[in-house]
């Protein structure tokens, strides 16, 4: 066991550093903490500007361009405007919790950056140090813990507002966190098995040859989906669905407190993007084509550049999804988390553990991978054949055919969607009425259009044409 730990430590940049984190003076630690805070704020301002520009480019618009060069200061101007707006507190709110909720949502987002390695070893004011505030043996679990605490800010904001729609948004947020954090944690388990550690520095060091996104593609894809759900971003922005909940959990917030929620959302985007970079894309290491021709690509301040570019890649993915995909329904969202992501994560984790165990016993690695791939392909082929030969009538269609006609004994109860004066969903045992279809005006021959062919149409023809025009 000790030999294995020594091998893992030898592969990390941290073990090669004789200085380490413990020898940093207190003022250097404080300086790095200020840099991390400033980096998060600047990245938030940049991400907002970047999102508006990219979405404008997708929609063939210009986007912000007047405040600062190319509109770069537009985000800063919007933040200052929010800070000076009137601060409104609703009468029914629980005031202490109402004020504390934005802070609870924002602070954990900054705390998660304490263990994110943003670069390798550099020189600061004559001291050799890492571009990382600190490192923990369970650094990834620390990030998950802070993310779990941050969700309390959304829950408390919805509850303390004393309003219906914010409360519904906060309840959605709770279900969303439970559903997608399970899948996210299971995607991390494969990385832990391959790296042998939960330390972010060790995980980066283990990807010196091959990124984990290549070795663990299913874990990478599951994490990408889960991180979008965790950050409440489109198409998973259901806690703040303005078409259903006005604005969601922050409906009753204004001024600086609303700006704090906005800041927390974008900092969380940077956190999950940084975590994806650290766990799956080699962290601050340069990609292979660059390392093949440049020996110093993974040294000094250049490592900060590779980290920044990878994070920007994930931020662009967030923006791309928002500009292209519509919002999911809530049942689709829950089905994706519980019936697709979590079962797939469990099966994939079992396969990873099997491969690692057989490899440790001395079995041929290629034979193991080919055998598992063959089994998966065989299962997929059998499922396709089963779907082809099981018939076209499913259980739902058979059940509908067996139902008695309307009005007969045992028939489904009639459903009034406007019962009580406002639209309501059908209850169990009730069916929606058929949706009325708009009459479609079809193309008619020229003779029919002019009546009887001699240019004189009857009154019935004219009234029918007018009625069709009104419907269309």
pLDDT for the residue 271:
93
pLDDT at 310 over 90: yes
pLDDT for the residue 416:
73
DSSP letter at 120?
-
In total, the chain counts a number of residues equal to 472
pLDDT tens digits for 126-183?
888 888 988 889 999 999 888 888 888 888 998 998 888 888 888 888 888 888 888 9
- Cβ-proximal residues to 7 (8 Å cutoff; 6+ apart), any chain: none
Q: ∠ at Cα 440 (329, 461), nearest 5°?
A: 155
**Residue found by looking up tokens 């060790």 in the block:** 202
Taking residues 316-333, report their average pLDDT: 88
pLDDT at 316 over 80: yes
Torsion of CA 157, 160, 165, 167, to 10 degrees: 80
pLDDT tens digits for 180-210?
888 999 999 989 988 888 999 999 988 888 8
Contact 201, 129 (CB under 8 A): no
Contact 165, 243 (CB under 8 A): no
Cis peptide before 235 (omega within 30 of 0): yes
- Cβ-proximal residues to 283 (8 Å cutoff; 6+ apart), any chain: 117, 200, 203, 204, 207, 277, 307
Kindly indicate the confidence band of residue 437, based on its pLDDT and cuts at 50, 70 and 90. Answer: low
Contact 348, 194 (CB under 8 A): no
pLDDT tens digits for 2-12?
444 444 444 44
For the question of whether the overall pTM of this predicted structure is more than 0.85, the answer is no
Taking residues 352-378, report their average pLDDT: 77
pLDDT tens digits for 232-264?
888 888 777 766 667 778 888 888 898 998 899
């Amino acid at each position: 066991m000790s030999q294995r730990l020594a091998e893992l430590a030898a592969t990390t940049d941290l073990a090669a550093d004789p200085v380490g984190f413990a020898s940093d003076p207190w003022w250097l630690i404080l300086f790095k903490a200020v840099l991390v805070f400033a980096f998060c704020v600047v990245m938030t301002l940049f991400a907002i500007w970047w999102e508006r520009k990219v979405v404008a480019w997708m929609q063939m618009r210009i986007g912000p361009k007047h405040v600062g060069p190319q509109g770069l200061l537009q985000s800063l101007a919007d933040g200052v405007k929010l800070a000076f707006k009137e601060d409104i507190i609703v009468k029914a709110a629980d005031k202490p919790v109402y004020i504390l909720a934005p802070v609870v949502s924002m602070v954990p987002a900054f705390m998660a950056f304490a263990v994110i390695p943003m670069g390798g070893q550099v020189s600061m004011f004559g001291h050799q140090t890492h571009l990382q505030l600190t490192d923990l043996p369970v650094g990834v679990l620390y990030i998950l813990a802070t993310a779990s605490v941050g969700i309390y800010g959304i829950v408390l904001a919805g509850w303390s507002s004393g309003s219906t729609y914010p409360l519904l948004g906060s309840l959605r947020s709770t279900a969303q966190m439970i559903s997608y954090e399970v899948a996210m944690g299971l995607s991390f388990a494969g990385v832990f098995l391959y790296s042998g550690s939960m330390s972010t520095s060790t995980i980066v060091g283990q990807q010196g040859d091959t990124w984990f996104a290549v070795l663990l593609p299913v874990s990478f894809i599951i994490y990408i989906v889960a991180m979008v759900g965790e950050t409440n971003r489109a198409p998973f922005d259901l806690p703040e669905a303005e078409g259903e909940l006005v604005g969601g959990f922050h409906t009753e917030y204004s001024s600086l407190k609303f700006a704090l929620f906005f800041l927390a959302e974008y900092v969380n985007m940077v956190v999950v993007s940084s975590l994806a970079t650290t766990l799956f894309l080699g962290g601050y290491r340069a990609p292979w084509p660059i390392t093949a021709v440049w020996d110093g690509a993974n040294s000094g301040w250049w490592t900060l550049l590779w980290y920044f570019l990878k994070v920007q890649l994930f931020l662009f993915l967030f923006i791309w999804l928002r500009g292209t995909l519509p919002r999911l329904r809530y049942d689709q969202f829950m089905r994706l988390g519980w019936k697709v992501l979590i079962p797939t994560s469990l099966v994939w984790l079992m396969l990873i553990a099997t491969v690692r165990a057989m490899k440790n016993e001395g079995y041929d690695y290629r034979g193991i991978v080919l055998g598992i791939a063959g089994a998966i392909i065989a299962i997929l082929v059998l499922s396709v054949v089963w779907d082809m030969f099981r018939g076209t009538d499913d259980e739902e269609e058979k059940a509908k055919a067996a139902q008695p006609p309307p009005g007969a004994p045992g028939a489904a109860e009639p459903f009034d969607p406007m019962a009580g004066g406002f639209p309501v969903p059908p209850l169990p045992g009730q069916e929606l009425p058929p949706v009325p279809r708009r009459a479609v005006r079809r193309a008619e021959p020229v003779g029919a259009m002019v009546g009887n062919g001699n240019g004189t149409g009857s009154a019935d023809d004219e009234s029918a044409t007018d009625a069709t025009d009104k419907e269309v």
